[in-house]
Amino acid sequence: MTEHYRNNGQPCVAVIGAGPAGLMTAEQIAAAGCRVEVFDAMPSVARKFLLAGVGGMNITHAEEYEQFVLRYREATPLLRPALDEFPPQALRQWIHGLGIETFTGTSGRVFPRDMKAAPLLRTWLQRLKTSGVIFHPRHRWLGWQTDEGRRQWHFQSPNGDLLREFDAAVLALGGASWPRLGSDGSWVSLLAAEGITCKPIKASNCGFELPWSDFIRQRFAGTPLKQVRLSITGIDGSHESRIGEFVLSDYGVEGSLIYALSAPLRECILQQPENARLYLDWLPHSDISRIQSRLAQPRKGMSFANVLRKKLNLPAVTNALLKECCPTLNNEDPVAVAACLKAMPLPLASATRPVAEAISCAGGVAFSEVDDSLMLKQLPGVFVAGEMLDWEAPTGGYLLTACFATGHRAGRRLVEWLAAGKTG
């Protein structure tokens, strides 16, 4: 049976996907007096949001806005209209409006005062329900059917197949990372069937596979490398580097510093695999001449490993990785050793870890398929928000901020579209 509701003459709008982008969209539309129904395939809403908040809910970042927007790389000019309308400070004010205080950590990351996602989500859901938003869990969107020229939305529900008609809709189904939490990327084929271009979904903020020796895997897997610098030269010749921490794993490397460089490293693997290499600076706060000077001091019978440990305060893994990555290095040559410590080439990366393991993903609906309001050009009245769009960002609050901002923009523009007398 096909159902089409109107709420006292007001339009009925579907939001498909109950993550942060979808919920923010629903809030904007409900505030305009529309009937809003949120559909999600999972038994409960915002599961990825809740899991991301287990270790501390990093909601946004407090760095200067002009630097903030550059974190979205090639997508910066495409996302900027949404971010300008709902920037990080506006997001914090919105959270404060839920009665949740925030604070800025030493790294500039912004968190709820209690570091948890659950209280924020509970308060938000209560406000949405009070405003009339209706939730339909365990409703998986299967695409569309057409009956006498009318587009019907097809859902698989606990009570069987359901066909619905709406005046407008927002798709906010997420990407394809952490599929067990609901974002499995199955929507790509549904949109492709409508002739909508979607860029291939690729892992972002992910680990990378490197060919470690058995010795490194067995002895040092799980070892963190702290306060080091990683650098890479991108496919366009640009040089990127970051200081932070990463972890050696049995398959390669992972951790926050790796995630920060995941985009250029991934593209090197895909387009210039012979150049997919990271360079490690063990002592980013020491210049090479100072390192050379310390290495040139008399060893007094110390082994090379002890020289690294005592004179440069480097961990035991340093010597092991120098042997692995610079096998012809002359340990007696302070100039050569210092050069390797400042730019040690890690083995060539061969692949990203699977997208299902990634924190987030790149790819999705091409921005050429949507207009400035984030409405699909080929499907008037259907808007797109969140990770379904083709953008990526590092961890640090940037991911959530763009999801909230695109949801905010899609919801506001949908209301304007309906106010202009249009329907889907």
Q: Which residue ranges make up each domain of the chain?
A: 2-203+361-419, 208-352
Residues 152 and 146: beta-carbon distance below 8 Å? yes
What is the C-alpha separation between 123 and 128, in angstroms, rounded? Answer: 9
Q: What integer pLDDT is reported at residue 159 of this predicted model?
A: 95
**Residue at token pair 């000077």:** 293
pLDDT tens digit string along 256-290? 999 999 999 999 999 999 999 999 999 999 999 99
Exposure class string for 284-295: b at 16+ Cβ within 10 A, else e:
bebeeeebbebb
Contacts of 83 (CB under 8 A, 6+ apart): 68, 69, 401, 402, 405
Q: What is the mean pLDDT of residues 109-124?
A: 93
- 97-106, 251-260, 294-303, 383-392: segment of lowest average pLDDT: 294-303
Question: Does the structure show a pLDDT above 90 at 382?
Answer: yes
State the pTM of this model: 0.92
At 292, the amino acid letter reads: Q
CA atoms within 13 A on the CB side of 216: 23
Element spanning 382, H or E: strand 382-384
pLDDT tens digit string along 119-144? 999 999 999 999 999 999 999 999 99
423 band by pLDDT with thresholds 50, 70 and 90? low
Residues 134 and 143: beta-carbon distance below 8 Å? no
Question: Does the structure show a pLDDT above 90 at 232?
Answer: yes
Element spanning 164, H or E: strand 160-164
9 band by pLDDT with thresholds 50, 70 and 90? low
CATH architecture of structural domain 2-203+361-419: 3-Layer(bba) Sandwich (3.50)
Please state, rounded to an integer, the average pLDDT across all residues of the chain: 94
Q: What integer pLDDT is reported at residue 51 of this predicted model?
A: 84
56 band by pLDDT with thresholds 50, 70 and 90? confident
What is the C-alpha separation between 354 and 336, in angstroms, rounded? Answer: 37
